[in-house]
């Protein structure tokens, strides 16, 4: 008996999950969009001495990774190894390095910072309050990001305007005033269908959790699959209000 029949016979119906969106973007339109992205990256690299890209290995970040490699832009890659990532993300890092022949630096939190958080809030205390959630992200993501960007004069993100209400006015270039360096969002004007058209059309490695209903991927305990029709960031810190769906990496 199939799973669907099993669910029906027991009176249960599994909710339909988010799925990779279909698109009708032509190869010509996709190539034109890609060329703009490649030129953006080359211009950014030419204007700075040391540019770094923070990748989560999720969809948007894989577009940027592929574009960095194909454009030849001198931009180094790193990922924040928070200690709470999905195993699929850890394995994806190795896959991407092998696929592109690039090195992705892994930046981990300081053990003392993690221990201090756990002592004050408990291992999973981020579920209890907004304060605790910010403290966990501070220890596992923000402090490691600060360390990862020492010596850099610019960094890149995979943010898009469409992703959240907090990103609706996202520019291509902004000042990271916390670190006093330039910050670029090269996909700021990309749509979700364009992201997936690029990944599929350019045969870019895709994070396995995207095939399991995860449109957005972060730490394992703070990320879940979402139902079809839900906001694409509904699975991030789902116990919080919609305007709290940021970890602090991108909040001024």
Q: Which entry of 136, 219, 222, 247 is annotated as an active-site residue?
A: 247
Bridge partners, 54 (sequence order): 78
pLDDT of 125 reads 96
Q: What is the average pLDDT score of the chain?
A: 91
Percentage with pLDDT > 70 across the chain: 90
pLDDT of 78 reads 98
DSSP-based three-state secondary structure for 54: strand
Are 120 and 98 in contact, with CB atoms under 8 Å apart? no
pLDDT of 242 reads 59
Bridge partners, 183 (sequence order): 155, 174
User: CA 51 to CA 175: how far, in whole Å?
Assistant: 14
What residue ranges define each of the domains in the chain, with the CATH number in brackets? 26-244 (3.40.50.620)
User: CA 156 to CA 77: how far, in whole Å?
Assistant: 9
If you average pLDDT over each of 9-13, 165-169, 184-188, which comes out highest?
184-188
List Cβ neighbours of 197 (8 Å cut-off, separation of 6 or more). Answer: 23, 25, 30
Q: At what angle do helices 59-71 and 192-201 cross, to 10 degrees?
A: 50
Residue 3 reports pLDDT greater than 50: no
What is the average per-residue pLDDT within 180-189? Answer: 97
Convert the pLDDT of each residue in 81-99 to its tens digit.
Answer: 999 999 999 999 999 999 9
User: CA 241 to CA 125: how far, in whole Å?
Assistant: 17
- Give the residue with greater pLDDT, 243 vs 176: 176
User: CA 93 to CA 223: how far, in whole Å?
Assistant: 18
Convert the pLDDT of each residue in 206-233 to its tens digit.
Answer: 999 999 999 999 999 999 999 999 988 8
- Give the residue with greater pLDDT, 164 vs 2: 164
Strand 181-184 to 51-54 pairing: unpaired
Beta strands in 81-161 (DSSP E): 104-107, 154-156
pTM of the model: 0.89
* Selection from 156, 209, 130 nearest residue 41 by Cα: 156
**Active-site residue, 222 included:** no
Percentage with pLDDT > 90 across the chain: 82
């Amino acid at each position: 008996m199939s799973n669907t029949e099993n669910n029906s016979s027991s009176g249960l119906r599994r909710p339909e999950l988010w799925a990779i969106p279909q698109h009708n973007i032509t190869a010509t339109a996709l190539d034109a969009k890609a060329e703009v992205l490649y030129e953006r990256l080359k211009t950014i690299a030419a204007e700075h001495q040391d540019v770094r890209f923070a990748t989560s290995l999720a969809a948007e970040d894989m577009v940027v990774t592929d574009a960095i490699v194909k454009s030849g832009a001198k931009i180094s890659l790193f990922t924040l190894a928070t200690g709470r990532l999905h195993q699929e993300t850890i394995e994806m890092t190795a896959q991407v390095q092998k696929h592109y022949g690039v090195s992705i630096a892994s930046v981990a939190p300081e053990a003392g910072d993690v221990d201090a958080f756990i002592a004050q809030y408990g291992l999973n205390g981020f579920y209890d309050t907004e304060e605790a959630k910010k403290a966990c992200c501070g220890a596992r993501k923000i402090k490691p990001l600060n360390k990862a960007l020492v010596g850099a004069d610019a960094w890149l993100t995979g943010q898009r305007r469409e992703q959240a209400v907090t990103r609706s006015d996202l520019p291509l270039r902004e000042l990271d005033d916390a670190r006093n360096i330039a910050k670029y969002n090269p996909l700021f004007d990309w749509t979700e269908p364009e992201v997936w058209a690029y990944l599929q059309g350019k045969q870019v490695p895709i994070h396995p959790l995207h095939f399991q209903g995860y449109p957005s991927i972060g730490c394992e305990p703070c990320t879940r699959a979402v139902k079809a029709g839900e906001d694409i960031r509904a699975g991030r810190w789902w116990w919080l209000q919609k305007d709290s769906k940021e970890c602090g990496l991108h909040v001024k």
